[in-house]
Each structure stands twice: as structure tokens, then as C-alpha cells.
Structure 1
């Protein structure tokens, strides 16, 4: 049976220009023959977990994944009955336990700030940089922060709400460079602690709370890399809350990973190991859900910049591994490497996008239009 599974997987990968045990950097070297059955029975979850287990390697996982998306292998499987026959057989007779997966997940969910301080830029921006005119991660992230401030038309003494403030990178930048007052919220105790330390002495308040608990009025609102965790059932609530919090003449800027077409489920490997309960929006979903509350004033797609950002994070992560290995094991290293490189490949293929969307209140946008006439 293994030979049959082998043939199916080899045929699929060949459609993406990937050779099993080939010589290209993007080719896959298989170390365990059960790899083929595992991929057919568990799809992307099996691909990721078998990599974590050391069952296969590739010198360029990022390009391998990019090729797989460009070849639309998922669609190929859905349309071809011969593949489904082998998949069904593998799933019916696959008794492999996934118990070990939760052990690794526990390690991941208990991560400390040491990993992110080693991997990210000096401001600890855990979102896409803006690489125009630079090849330096620190500058790219400052470029991104400044771009957001300019899209907000940020003025001195503006009171800005940041929904999902991370470790305080935007709050610190906006307060230092633009003289703004910032209220940042996050659901992470670790982020609150470090963000408060980094923003000490500035007009910045960092709060541990959910966006649905917010009250008050703000001149500007920004959300960077948080909307991915809102969930489709809560999109309407999210925009409704932001509308209530934003002053009539205010601006809201949303910075979010998205997808090239609407999807109903999250990749199971990402859901289990990296971002549980996440949901990536299509631009259509953002536009449709915001319609009762806002008018979209501008949209920028920065997907290629996230590819570059992820590759920079990967390089820093690998360089820092000798020190990080004191806290994390080799299985975690392979999990984190797979996460960074597969995401880079997904952005490179265009399957993943990065949207920056500028919103205005409907009456404000209409007033500007009438004035222009």
C-alpha cells in the first residue's frame, strides 16, 4: 500500500515542479516512508506534523509551499477521483494518534518574550513591515508605523485607540514621533507588562481587555494584526464597536492578513500550533461587513512585504537558535521554522494578502465629496 500512496503524492508534487528526493532546493527529501500515507490522511496537518517529527526536509520550504499554492494542488485533489480513493483508504485505516501534537502545542502556547525579542525588530513589531527603499528590518517596521500614522492623519494630542497593541510598538512610536496620546488594549498579560515598560513616561495607557468592553470616544482608531482573531461571526460586532468609539471626524485604519478568496475554515496545522481559532478575511468580507458603519477611503495590498518580513524573521530566528535552544527543543525549532517559511511561501504565491484599509464615517466621506464638487 505504501507504494500506492507514494505514487499519488509524487504525482501531485510533480504538478508543482517538486521532486521527491530530487536535487532542487525546493524538492523534498523523505526520511520515513510513512510520510506519503500521512499526507494523504491528514493533508496540511500531516505535512506540518511530519516535518516536526523529522520525516522529511527541504532546503527551501518557502518556495516549495509557494509552488504548491501556485499549482493549486488542493483544487487538483478535489477534482480528481483517483486521489480521493487513496485519501479515503488512508483515512479509513489510519490509526495514528495525534496525542503528541498537544505536547508541542503546550510548549508553543507558553512561549516567553525571549523568542520574540530575538526574532523581531527592536520595536517588537509582530506584523508586516514596509520595505520600500530599504532592506533593513528595523527601518521597514518604522516605515510601516509611520505609514499608519500618516494614513490616520495623526496630529499632536490626538487620542488614538489601538485595538491589539502587542508589545507597544505603535503606541510608543505614535507618542514619541507624533505627540499623540494612545490607549492600547490587548488580551495578553505578558504583552501588557512589557508594553508598559517600553512606553513608560509617554502619554500611553496599556489595558488588559477585550475590544467589546471598550467605552469612550477617540480621535483615531487603529488595529494592527488583530482582526485575524476576531472571527467571521464577530465582524459585524467589531465594526459596530469601532464606529461607536470613533469621533465623527475620525479615521480608522485596519492592518490585517487576508486571503485571495473567501474561506470557511482555517488551515488545521496553523489552527493547532500557531493561531488557534483564527480566521483570515477576504477583502469582500471586510467591505461587506463594514458597509452599514463606514465608507472605505483607501485600500493598499502589501502582501509581498510580508514575504520579505517573514524571511527576515526566519533568518533572525535561526541565528538566535544557539541561545534559544536553552529554552526550546528541536521539535519546537522545526515547528517554528515550518510556520515562518510556509507563511512566507503563501504570501509569495499570492494566496495570502496583507490589507491596509482606511475607513471614514459615512457622513464625513459625503461631506468631503460635496466640498470637492
Structure 2
């Protein structure tokens, strides 16, 4: 375990509550505060910085490889810093709202992840009996939570990572309500995802890795049933921050290879295939 912790520390991943983590958080806060202030009010489109969310593959092939290599690290490494119950690799919800910025420090990481799941269920209007497509289902935490909460729900998960899908197969594939497609987004076929087959299409922490939002939304439009909805939880910036648009230059690429931080309004430009709200 010590060796694993040392490996994590080399990549600035430190134990919760440690002095090293507090120092790193202060460094990151200083960096992001400086960049947000530097680009405050910038409403330029990504195209000005030679980045387009309308062109190419859904995700770049080289970014695919980097991302999968990232998620194929030894399973034990992820166990050192993810919650034990659901192994969720995205931010948790500790009770902060628009009216209150107070963090509930009594919550465990697993409880805070469940809070996030419940909030997504509410906002995506997920109900028992629906057919769900989860894009980039990770270690299967959200799919597992949905299966526990809704007895008649059916879920299809997309994930090309062998390490994550090995875990998925252990915890979910004995449940006939869950099916797994182990492919990259650009490899998905109509046979994998038939037309008009899902009530909801969801993703958590995935659109940061998507290069062509338009092509992804076209895929989602094809597989949604009439009246179906799609929901995406991901990181955006209010202003356009050029260095965060490029997967090779953003700090996020150190922790989420292939990542972008899109401007908040960028998804709304892709309203050809979906009605965005």
C-alpha cells in the first residue's frame, strides 16, 4: 500500500486531509483563480483558438488511447482514493446549493456520491421501468445505484476500458437488467445501439473527453425514443479559457487525459439534433 501511495503522490494525488493535499489544493486554487481572472468576460468561440466542437471523431483517437491507458491503471490504485461502495471517479455532492455554499463535513465520500446520484435522478427525470443508456459508465457505480433503486429499470453501459469493465462484469453482469458494450464511441454501430431504444441517455464526467459534441448529439438523437431525454454532468467554464480547450495543454489532462473544459454556452450551439434546455 505504501508503494501505491508513493506512486499517487508523484502525480499529486494525496490522502484526504493530509498536509500535502492541502498544499496542493492551495496551489490549484491560486492557479485557477489567476486564469479565471485573466480571461474574465471572454466570450470568444473556441474556433478562434483553432478548436472546434463540430468536427472530427466524437473523441480523438490519440485522446482515446491516453484516456484508456489512464483508466487501466492497477485497480488497487483506484481503491486508495475512490469511495469503497460505488468506486465513483467524478466529483461528489456535499450539500452545496445556490443559496448555501456550506459543505456538510459529516458526509462520507460514499454518502456524498449518493447525493449526487439522487440529484441526477431528479434532474434527468429517471423513473422505474425506463431504458437507460449510460455513456462512459466507469466502474459502474451509477448504473449499480439505479439498479438497486429501480427494480424494473434496464441499463446499457458503454466503456472501452478493460480494467473498469472487468470490475463491471464482476458486480453487474450477473444482473440481466444490465448490458455492457465495450467499445469506443466512434465504434458504436446501429446493432450495438438500435434506433429509438432508450428513454434516457446519460453521462457523468464524459463530455470533457468529447471533441465533436455535434456528432455525439447526433448519435444520442438517433437512439432516444420519441419524448426521450438526455442529461450530462460535466465541467464547464463561464468564460472561454483558451488553454483549457486543448486536451494537451490543460492541467485537467494530467488527471483526465483527453479532457476539455468547454465554455458553458458551447453545448447550446449544438441544437440541430436535440432540443437543449
Inter-partner Cα distance in structure 1 for 2:80 and 2:131: 32
Runs of 5+ consecutive residues of structure 2 not aligned to the other structure: 1-9, 14-19, 40-66, 96-103
Deviations 1:207-238 (A, max 9, x none): 2012341421211110111111111xx11101
Task: State the 1:74 CA deviation.
Answer: 8.7
Structure with bigger helix share is: 1
What's 2:238 paired with? Answer: 260
What does residue 137 of structure 1 align with?
Answer: 109
TM-score where L is the length of structure 1 = 0.51
Partner-residue secondary structure (3-state), 1:240 = helix
Specify the SS of the correspondent of 1:294.
coil
The gaps in structure 1 that reach 5 residues or longer are 1-48, 77-104, 298-373
Task: From the CA coordinates, give the structure whose radius of gyration is larger.
Answer: 1
Shift of 1:283: 1.2
Report the TM-score, using the length of structure 2 for normalisation. Answer: 0.68
Please give the secondary structure, in 1, of the residue aligned with 2:120: helix
1:1-373 equivalences in 2 (<5 Å): 60-72=23-35, 75=38, 111-121=73-83, 122-132=85-95, 135-179=107-151, 180-202=153-175, 203-212=177-186, 213-214=188-189, 215-216=193-194, 217-231=197-211, 234-262=212-240, 263=242, 264-266=245-247, 268=249, 270=251, 273-289=254-270, 291-297=271-277
**How many residues are matched?**
214
Deviation, structure 1 residue 59:
5.9
Contact 1:108 1:273 in 2 (8 A): no
- SS of 2:235's equivalent in the other structure is strand
Mapped partners of 1:73, 1:153: distance in 2: 33
Residues 72 and 163 in structure 2, CA contact (< 8 A), matched pair in contact too: no
Q: Which moved more, 1:177-186 or 1:212-221?
A: 212-221
Instruction: Please tell me whether the aligned partners of residues 202 and 230 of structure 2 are also in contact (alpha carbons under 8 angstroms).
Output: yes
Matched-pair contact (CA < 8 Å) for 1:192–1:207: no
Structure 1 residue 192 displacement after superposition:
1.1
Query: 8 Å contact 2:252–2:260 — kept in the other structure?
Result: no
Structure 1: distance between partners of 2:263 and 2:37 = 18
- CA-atom RMSD in angstroms: 3.1
- How far apart are residue 259 of structure 1 and its match? 2.2
**2:124, 2:229 within 8 Å by CA — same for their partners in 1?**
yes
